[in-house]
Amino acid sequence: PLAAAAMAAKMGTDEMRDRVVLGEFGVRNVHTTDFPGNYPGYEDAWDQRRFEEEFRVDVIREEEGALEFDLVGIDAAIANAFRRILLAEVPTMAVEKVFVYNNTSIVQDEILAHRLGLVPIRADPRLFEYRNQGDEEGTEIDTLQFQLKIKCTRNPQAAKESSDPNELYFNHKVYSKHMTWVPLGNQTDLFPEADFRPVHDDILIALLRPGQEIDVLMHCVKGIGKDHAKFSPVATASYRLLPDITLLQPIEDEAAEMLQKCFSPGVIEIQNIKGKKVARVANARLDTFSREVFRHEGLKNLVRLARVRNHYIFSVESTGILPPDVLVSEAIKILMGKCQRFLNELDSVPME
Amino acid sequence: VQAEGTDGNCVTFVLHDEDHTLGNSLRYMVMKNPDVEFCGYCITHPSESKINFRIQTRGTLPAVEPFRKGLNDLMGVCQHVLNTFEVRLFLRSS
């Protein structure tokens, strides 16, 4: 009994250390508490070797513009740092200055410029530099020039009574495919193979009618999402913790059926053992934790809903400028760059 | 970076152009150091991008040491994460 009590106590602290428990009315054990000195008997000081042994990365799904991967064995602070950097500090190229030569459409100049800025440009930002502060002209190493020159005219061959604009007019829809790259200086030599254009050709920018035209020149520069959201390279980057569902007692028959309905499909499966239906947790990862279990009096004390504290399921969707695996690598390098910057400052400035 | 404090053991670093991204992760790495008695960070005002990062050490260790060790450890973590991630991608595509 003493050993059993000791083991129960240890399991209690283990639960406190590495699970975030979802209770009926709130979430418990949210903060990381495994710092040296908090738990007697646990070795909590930072040990790079132990971290490397326990850490792993699993790539779950890799699609055209989206990547789902797991980081296991890392803490919330660092996982969140990666997420924040993916959203706001990985640089991209986007239209910053729009020189309007002629705009007789009904879209105002500033609205047109705003829309053009949000169009993602397929240009690897690592090939370019940041523009210097106060530099108005822009040089070949930091600027990409695009031109959008389009005029809408009436179609003389259209039928008399038709009211379909596609038939009546030419060029009445301005798409992003009409943006053409104008090489600056020696850019044709620097990038002989490159084909700089917007990522998607079918982004509708403006609508025109006969007689209206748009003639603008655009300068793209390198920037980060912190400055303006148009520079963010991800459609979204998010993470969630791995769910962990434990059945505290065996659940059978109708209770098992009800339990299966409480969770997302595929989480709970019902097995037929000796004629009785018994519920079993099949795949906790699929669950979205709607907490439906807590609405049923009979079931709510038989299940423990928790999340594993150091298992992060990341989902990164790119806008198409860079593939998502490159984005994650760049984000990690940016965090390293930040640390290096402060280390250099520490070494160079004498501390008094 | 600017440092102010009473003696060498308790130092408040002011890091410019930083926010929770580096602040929280660095705080975690410094807290894992058993010599550190207190470590915390705060953002003085949300309109200014600078953080006050305070370290107090047990005993007589100068506070710059855990700061430096925290930065090095964080670099080590990032390097390992990057290597593991790239190895995993490479294995997956081959």
pLDDT tens digits along A237-264: 999 999 888 888 888 878 888 888 888 8
Q: Helical H runs in chain B?
A: 20-31, 64-93
A335 inside 8 A of chain B by CB: yes
- Cβ-based neighbours of A28, under 8 Å, separated by 6 or more: A20, A21, A22
Q: Which of A300, A227, A275 is nearest to A22 (CA)?
A: A300
B73 inside 8 A of chain A by CB: yes
B34 inside 8 A of chain A by CB: yes
Least confident of A80-94, A118-132, A244-258: A244-258
Q: What average pLDDT does range A258-284 have in this prediction? A: 84
The pLDDT value recorded for residue A3 is: 72
- A158 or A309, higher pLDDT: A309
Contact residues on chain A for B78, CB-CB shorter than 8 A: 332-333, 335-336, 339
Tokens 């106590």 found at: A9
Give the best-scoring range by mean pLDDT among A16-30, A110-124, A244-258: A110-124
The pLDDT value recorded for residue B2 is: 66
Distance, in Å, from the CA atom of A154 to the CA atom of A16, rounded to the nearest integer, reads: 72
Mean pLDDT, rounded, of chain A? 86
* β-strands B2-4, A153-154 pairing: unpaired
Q: What average pLDDT does range A19-31 have in this prediction? A: 82
Residue A215 has pLDDT above 90, yes or no: yes
Contact residues on chain A for B3, CB-CB shorter than 8 A: 351-352
For residue range A50-83, list pLDDT tens digits in order: 888 889 898 888 888 899 999 998 888 899 999 9
The pLDDT value recorded for residue A204 is: 93
Q: Out of B22, B33, B82, whose CB is closest to A329?
A: B82
Q: Which of A66, A343, A105, A285 is nearest to B29 (CA)?
A: A343
Local structure of residue B2 (DSSP, 8 states): E
- A28 or A122, higher pLDDT: A122
For residue range B5-46, list pLDDT tens digits in order: 667 678 888 888 888 888 899 888 888 888 888 888 999 898
Domain boundaries, chain A: 17-90+233-248+302-344, 92-231
Q: Out of B72, B80, B85, whose CB is closest to A328?
A: B85
A333 inside 8 A of chain B by CB: yes
Cβ neighbourhood burial of A56 (10 Å; 0-12, 13-18, 19+): middle
Judge whether A211 and A152 are in contact, CB under 8 Å: yes
Record: contact B81-A339, CB cut-off 8 A:
no
ipTM of predicted complex: 0.90
- The percentage of chain B sitting over the pLDDT mark of 70, rounded to a whole number, equals 90
Q: What average pLDDT does range B51-64 have in this prediction? A: 84
Judge whether A150 and A174 are in contact, CB under 8 Å: yes
The pLDDT value recorded for residue B5 is: 65
pLDDT range class, residue A351, cuts 50, 70, 90: low
B82 inside 8 A of chain A by CB: yes
B33 inside 8 A of chain A by CB: yes
The pLDDT value recorded for residue A17 is: 75
Among B36, B74, B86, B91, pick the best mutation site for testing chain A contact (most A Cβ within 10 A).
B74
Judge whether B57 and B9 are in contact, CB under 8 Å: yes
CATH 3.30.1360.10 fits domain A17-90+233-248+302-344? yes
Residue A15 has pLDDT above 80, yes or no: no
Query: Domain A92-231: which topology?
Result: RNA Polymerase Alpha Subunit; Chain A, domain 2 (2.170.120)
User: For chain B, how far is it from start to end, CA to CA, in angstroms?
Assistant: 45
Contact residues on chain B for A56, CB-CB shorter than 8 A: 84
- Cβ-based neighbours of A73, under 8 Å, separated by 6 or more: A51, A54, A55, A56, A310, A311
The pLDDT value recorded for residue B3 is: 66
DSSP A168-224: HEES-EEEGGGEEEE--TTHHHH-SS---EES-S--EEEE--TT-EEEEEEEEEEE-
pLDDT range class, residue A106, cuts 50, 70, 90: very high
Tokens 């007697």 found at: A40
Task: Measure CA A19 to chain center.
Answer: 25
Judge whether A243 and A285 are in contact, CB under 8 Å: yes
Distance, in Å, from the CA atom of A12 to the CA atom of A338, rounded to the nearest integer, reads: 38
A44 inside 8 A of chain B by CB: yes
A75 inside 8 A of chain B by CB: yes
Q: Which residues pair with A67 in a beta bridge?
A: A62, A316
Measured CA distances, A252 to A264, A277, A314, A319, A347 (Å): 19, 5, 35, 47, 66
pLDDT range class, residue A218, cuts 50, 70, 90: very high
The pLDDT value recorded for residue A350 is: 61
Note the maximum CA span of chain B.
Answer: 57
Could you tell me the pTM of the whole model? 0.87
Q: What average pLDDT does range A319-347 have in this prediction? A: 89
Residue type, B2: Q
The pLDDT value recorded for residue A104 is: 93
What interhelical angle do B64-93 and A324-348 show, nearest 10?
Answer: 160
- Cβ-based neighbours of A171, under 8 Å, separated by 6 or more: A150, A151, A152, A153, A208
Residue type, A322: L
Judge whether B29 and B22 are in contact, CB under 8 Å: no
Nearest residue on chain A to B16, alpha-carbon basis: A342
pLDDT range class, residue A116, cuts 50, 70, 90: very high
Nearest residue on chain A to B69, alpha-carbon basis: A343
The pLDDT value recorded for residue B90 is: 87
Domain boundaries, chain B: 3-93
Task: Measure CA A87 to chain center.
Answer: 6
What interhelical angle do A324-348 and A76-88 show, nearest 10?
Answer: 110
Distance, in Å, from the CA atom of A138 to the CA atom of A222, rounded to the nearest integer, reads: 11
For residue range B81-90, list pLDDT tens digits in order: 999 999 988 8
The CATH code that applies to domain B3-93 is 3.30.1360.10
The pLDDT value recorded for residue B1 is: 62
The pLDDT value recorded for residue A21 is: 84
Q: What average pLDDT does range A193-220 have in this prediction? A: 90
B14 inside 8 A of chain A by CB: no
Element (H, E) at A339: helix A324-348
Q: What average pLDDT does range A131-148 have in this prediction? A: 82
Q: Which of A242, A245, A243, A241 is nearest to A280 (CA)?
A: A245
Residue B93 has pLDDT above 90, yes or no: no
Neighbours of A196 (CB within 10 A): 20
Residue A346 has pLDDT above 60, yes or no: yes
